[in-house]
């Protein structure tokens, strides 16, 4: 099993004919991702990599029953792309773009309220269930099927964590990149909940970082779970002292209480295993195995 996506998930690619989309769609198809349609204005009625292309998301959903979307659109077009997804009733959307304007993200969050759509991102590598489906830009060759779930707010560290899991001989059930931006669509709590509901996921690797209170809120949730799955957590930025020049509003408002060390303390007290560096992940996983 997996969470969010698997080999049966019917995927739509917004912006499928773009340069970046072309590169990653080809790789996604190669591992078995069920891409059933693409959207590219003015290109409707054509095919791309054998995938039918439509002018709008609604047309694509009506014709191909797509249920998840990955957006390869520029930041300035993200808001309208999400609007199309929400109106079409797609249940999962992955937003790859970075530098999405904060105001646009606030409006997007409002769109999502009361809708059926779960948004992953922005500024995310996406979601991958190894050897089954990839919605995003993951280097699929480093991901192996297994029983460890990964949820991360640091894109590149996600790849390093996957390699550490591979070193332990365990592989991943699903890997979810929440996104590096300050305002994201889905937080740790929702993904942690889904991993706990997935029988195939035996343990979870959680990667956090400075900025915001996503990690603290997740730790509070985890502390209240009666039957906990092991969570191995790492917080990036532990060597960085609090400094108003960093520009993290949450840290400034709380006078440095939301530091990396504070996050680690809260997560450790919730029952999570907090590691000092990424290389310790495979050690703890090997011990759990």
98-137 confidence digits (pLDDT tens) = 999 999 999 999 999 989 999 999 999 999 999 999 999 9
* Residues 281 and 191 placed together within one structural domain of the fold: yes
Note whether 157 and 257 are same-domain residues.
Answer: yes
The answer to whether residues 52 and 86 belong to one domain is: yes
Which residues form the domain of 23?
11-120
pLDDT digits 0-9 by tens, 155-195: 889 999 999 999 999 999 999 999 999 899 999 999 999 99
Total number of domains in the chain = 2
How far apart CA 18 and CA 16 sit, in angstroms, is 6
Domain at 199, CATH number: 3.40.50.261
Residue 101, domain CATH: 3.40.50.720
Residue 284: burial class (beta carbons within 10 Å; 0-12, 13-18, 19+): middle
Residue 262: pLDDT band by 50, 70, 90 thresholds? confident
Does residue 130 sit within a domain? no
Whether the per-residue pLDDT at 243 is higher than 70: the answer is no
Does 153 share its domain with 279?
Answer: yes
Task: Dump pLDDT digits (tens) for 26-36.
Answer: 999 999 999 99
280 plus 180 within the same structural domain: yes
Q: What is the DSSP string of 144-180?
A: -EEEEEEEES-HHHHHHHHHHHHHTT--EEEEEE--S
Asked whether residue 264 falls in the same domain as residue 173, the answer is: yes
The tokens of 226 are what?
């009666």
C-alpha distances out from residue 215 to 178, 208, 234, 235, Å: 12, 6, 10, 9
- The tokens describing 188, both together, are 């740790």
> Is residue 111 located within the same domain as residue 196?
no
Q: Are residues 215 and 84 in the same domain?
A: no
278 and 164 within one domain: yes
């Amino acid at each position: 099993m997996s969470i969010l996506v698997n080999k049966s998930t019917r995927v739509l690619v917004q912006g499928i004919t773009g340069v970046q989309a072309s590169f990653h769609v080809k790789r996604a198809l190669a591992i078995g991702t069920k891409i059933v349609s693409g959207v590219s204005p003015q290109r409707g009625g054509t095919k791309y990599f054998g995938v039918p292309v439509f002018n709008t998301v609604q047309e694509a959903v009506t014709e191909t029953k797509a249920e998840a979307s990955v957006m390869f659109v520029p930041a300035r077009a993200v808001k309208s792309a999400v609007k199309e997804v929400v109106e079409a009733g797609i249940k999962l959307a992955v937003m790859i773009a970075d530098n999405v304007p904060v105001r646009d993200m606030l409006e997007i969050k409002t769109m999502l309220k009361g809708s059926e759509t779960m948004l992953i991102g922005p500024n995310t590598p996406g979601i991958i269930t190894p050897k089954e489906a990839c919605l995003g830009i993951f280097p699929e060759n480093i991901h192996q099927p297994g029983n460890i779930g990964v949820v991360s707010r640091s894109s590149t560290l996600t790849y390093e964590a996957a390699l550490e899991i591979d070193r332990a001989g365990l592989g991943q059930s699903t890997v979810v990149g929440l996104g590096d931006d300050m305002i994201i669509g889905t937080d740790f709590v929702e993904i942690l909940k889904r991993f706990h509901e997935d029988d195939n996921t035996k343990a979870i690797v959680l990667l956090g970082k400075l900025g915001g209170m996503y990690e603290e809120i997740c730790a509070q949730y985890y502390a209240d779970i009666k039957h906990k799955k092991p969570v191995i957590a790492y917080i990036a930025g532990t060597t960085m002292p609090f400094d108003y020049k960093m520009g993290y509003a949450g840290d400034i408002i709380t006078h440095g209480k939301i530091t990396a060390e504070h996050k680690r303390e809260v997560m450790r007290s919730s029952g999570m295993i907090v590691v000092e560096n990424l290389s310790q992940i495979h050690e703890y996983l090997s011990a759990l195995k």
